Amino acid sequence: MPKVPEKATKREKEEVVANKKPGETLAEFLASLAESLIVVLFLLTFVLQNFEIPSSSMENTLLIGDHVFVNREQFAPPTRWLGALMPYRQISRGDIVVFLSPEEPGLFVVKRIIGVPGDRIHLRDGAVYRNGEKLVEPYVQHKVANYDPYRDNFPAVPPAEMYGITSQEWIADMASHIEGGDIVVPPNSYFGMGDNRDVSKDSRYWGFIPRENVIGRPMFIYWSFITPPDQYLMRGASDRVGFLAHIALHFFDQTRWSRTLRIVQ
């Protein structure tokens, strides 16, 4: 409570009393807490989704063991009741997106969008050309020294299983999308590639990303933990429990603290 000077005038005393802030009651505190929880639950239910990076295909932008929050609404069709609140927009070239794999049902994948509908894409000696212009891609990593004719000169070399392509549908369908040496992105589809370009299994190997498969955009890394490359394949209960125990023991020394709250771009 503010202290009133002993020699204060009547007016000064009235101003002190008027400016005094009443303390928050227990009921008001609980009401504020409930409002905050409702907002958090709303965001986690309708807007954000947790996603863990499983492979090295997006290094060094995203590392194995990075945990990110994905904005599920930004690329979704606008709704009347959220339209005024959410910054909806179309998927653009350069966006990083999380989507359901066109090749393996139920598998979440993350790639960078290289081509949108109507774009003409080809690679020459590992460099990407879009609509006739060579792209400047400072985020791209080349960590494998070997030359792969299909990977590095796409789509000049016809697809085949010998190049690691397991999608028979893509092998049969790819030729219908080639015009003048370019792969042309069809409507409601996207061409995606990993930043770790030489090891990424992407649209070169399984085709286009259907618009309806897109989940959202990774916003920021909220936690990053050093994780073995094959950990996402360990689906047995004993494997999961064992890794949880490993996390508990090494939470502080194997957490990549410098990546906490890093914006994904």
Per-position DSSP letters for 165-208, written without gaps between them: ---HHHHHHGGGGEETTEEEPPTTEEEEE-SBTTT---HHHH--
Mean pLDDT of 219-227: 95
Q: Where are the domains of the chain?
A: 42-263
Write down the architecture of domain 42-263 according to CATH: Ribbon (2.10)
Q: Which of 14-18, 164-168, 258-262 has the lowest mean pLDDT?
A: 14-18
Of 215, 258, 247, nearest to 60 by C-alpha is 258
Cis status, amide bond into 60, omega within 30 of 0 = yes
How large a percentage of the chain has pLDDT more than 90? 59
Q: Which of 2-11, 94-103, 248-257 has the lowest mean pLDDT?
A: 2-11
- The pLDDT confidence band at residue 186, using thresholds 50, 70 and 90, is very high
Mean pLDDT of 204-232: 93
Mean pLDDT of 76-82: 57
- The pLDDT confidence band at residue 4, using thresholds 50, 70 and 90, is very low
- pLDDT value for 148: 92
Other C-beta atoms closer than 10 Å to the C-beta of 59 total 19
Catalytic residues, by residue number, are 57, 111
Other C-beta atoms closer than 10 Å to the C-beta of 168 total 10
- pLDDT value for 164: 83
Q: How far apart, in whole angstroms, are the C-alpha atoms of residue 127 and residue 150?
A: 13
Say yes or no to pLDDT of 3 above 70.
Answer: no
Helix (H, G, I), strand (E, B) or coil at 133: strand
How far, CA to CA in Å, does 118 sit from each of 93, 100, 182, 184?
12, 22, 11, 6
Spatial CB neighbours of 129, under 8 Å, sequence gap ≥ 6? 121, 122, 123, 135
- The pLDDT confidence band at residue 134, using thresholds 50, 70 and 90, is very high
Mean pLDDT of 198-224: 95
Q: How far apart, in whole angstroms, are the C-alpha atoms of residue 87 and residue 51?
A: 21
